[in-house]
Amino acid sequence: MEKFVNYQSCLLLFVFVCGVNTLAYDVHWLGGPTTIEREIHPTKQTVDIYCYSGNSKNLFTLWQTVKFNIKIKNEEFNQYLGSTPEEVYKDFTENSYRWPVVNPFQKKSYKTVSIDLYSPTCMAIDTKHRHSIELQIQRVDIWRVLLMLFGLVLIFSSKALSGNPVFFYLCGILVGVSASFMLLVYYVSKLLPRKTLTYGLLVGGWTVGVYLLQQIWENIRSIVVSYQTYIFWYTLLVSFISFVVCYRIGPPKNQRSKNLVMWTLQAVGVLIIFFSSQYQEASAAVAIMAMCVKYFPQSLLYSIQGYWRRKFPPRPRLLSSEEYYEQGARETKRALDELRRHCSSPDCKQWAIMLRISDPKRFASFVEGNSHLSDDEVLNYESYAFSLERSKPIANSTRNNLDISEDDSSDDEEYF
């Protein structure tokens, strides 16, 4: 009788295990922006696996982002990610008894999962509530573009920022506020019982750690919401203390200190550019090109510009009448000013010049700043210019009459 009971128990266990292992799955390949809504039925024995097939690497996908958006009324669900449906299904069957995982950094009833753009990715959701899966493809992710631009700005403006006092004070305030919060977290962690947390993590596994992190995050968020005034005054006080310390130390004046700051900013800019895109080969090429342009020797650049101008000289542009008049007046005024300065300098032998010229008084007047032309010369020039202006219409009318007469004679010859 006892053997029969044991045999029956083993048979039931075998049937249960076989029933668990015979759970099937459906694969939904999503190749573009798609939304799938699912109703959970109590008798359903299949697992829905949603897969993204991946994309080929090209420059048009430099700032592209692909996400899985999960919309669910209840925030308690298990999420399984893998590169193949078989891997996700294996993870689903082996971990079907885990605690539901909740991401404390996401809003309730909505979760975003960023996936790799260029490799296949599959995901399954273990929940008893109605949910929808959306594959979101952002052709141009504005945040990735801004990150790359920010990295380029850091690289090319690192030399100016290394000696900028405003940038020094802002960085000092930011570091002071961040360090103060880290010190608070450190001293608070000293008050927590380490052995109890260690034993809890050993017994419950990583799900207990996630649960504790969730509770800590909820407590921090509730503290920030409830004590906004205290948080504001605390941040303001720490910022003021950090500013006082930075003001007492002062911005770096040594060139080596400035070089260290400049190189640090450039390294941060390179890292930001590298991680601003999932196409990391292209982003690394952009970072390398930016550094090459930053440290490109100026002498070689001037040599290339000179060779280009010698090889392909620009075509000379003829001046118009107005430009010719303006250039003549400007150059004449500049030459007269230079002559006046030379005559007033100690290097000029004024007495020797006055002995050679016929009108020393006019020369002295010119050196003192008066005009180099007399009233009679100005009047004669204006009369000459006026006569030229009056002769132009007469010459034009004479040329037009000659053209008309020639045309008439040709017409008469053709007529006869």
Give one DSSP letter per residue of 167-199, joined into a string.
HHHHHHHHHHHHHHHHHHHHHHHHHS-HHHHHH
What CATH number should be reported for the domain whose range is 2-140?
2.60.120
Look at residue 157 in the predicted model and tell me its pLDDT: 92
Q: At what angle do helices 206-226 and 194-204 cross, to 10 degrees?
A: 130
Which among 271, 272, 251 is positioned nearest to 261, based on CA atoms?
Answer: 251
Dist CA 172 CA 243 (whole Å): 7
Question: CA 190 from chain center: how many Å?
Answer: 40
In the chain, the percentage of residues whose pLDDT exceeds 70 is 72
pLDDT in tens, 396-407: 555 455 444 444
Q: Locate all alpha helices (DSSP H) within 22-120, ordered by sequence.
A: 85-94
- Residue 325 φ then ψ, to 5°: -65, -45
Going by pLDDT thresholds of 50, 70 and 90, the confidence category of residue 375 is confident
Dist CA 245 CA 237 (whole Å): 12
Going by pLDDT thresholds of 50, 70 and 90, the confidence category of residue 287 is very high
Helix or strand or coil: residue 98?
coil
Dist CA 85 CA 380 (whole Å): 100
Residue 356 CA: distances (Å) to CA of 29, 165, 350, 352, 372: 102, 63, 10, 7, 17
Dist CA 110 CA 13 (whole Å): 39
Q: How many helices (H) and strands (E) does the chain have?
A: 15, 8
Lowest mean pLDDT among 167-171, 240-244, 263-267, 350-354: 350-354
Statement: residue 248 has pLDDT above 60: yes
Spatial contact of 81 and 187, defined as CB atoms under 8 Å apart? no
- Tell me how many degrees the CA angle 184-190-193 measures, rounded to the nearest 5: 135
pTM of full prediction above 0.95: no
| DSSP one-letter string for 21-47 | HT-EEEEEEE-SSEEEEEPPPTT--EE
Q: HSE (CB half, 13 Å, CA atoms) of 219?
A: 6
Statement: residue 49 has pLDDT above 60: yes
Mean pLDDT on 139-149: 92
| DSSP one-letter string for 108-142 | TTEEEEE--SSS-EEEEEE-SS-EEEEEEEESS-H
Mean pLDDT on 326-345: 88
Residue 297 CA: distances (Å) to CA of 82, 270, 301: 48, 20, 7
Dist CA 380 CA 414 (whole Å): 51
For the chain, the structural domain boundaries read: 2-140, 145-200+229-294
Across 98-118, b (16+ Cβ under 10 Å) vs e yields eeebbeeeeeeeebebebebe
Bridge partners, residue 27, by sequence: 49
pLDDT in tens, 50-108: 888 888 888 888 998 888 888 777 666 777 888 888 888 888 787 654 444 444 444 44
Dist CA 168 CA 264 (whole Å): 13
151 or 99, higher pLDDT = 151
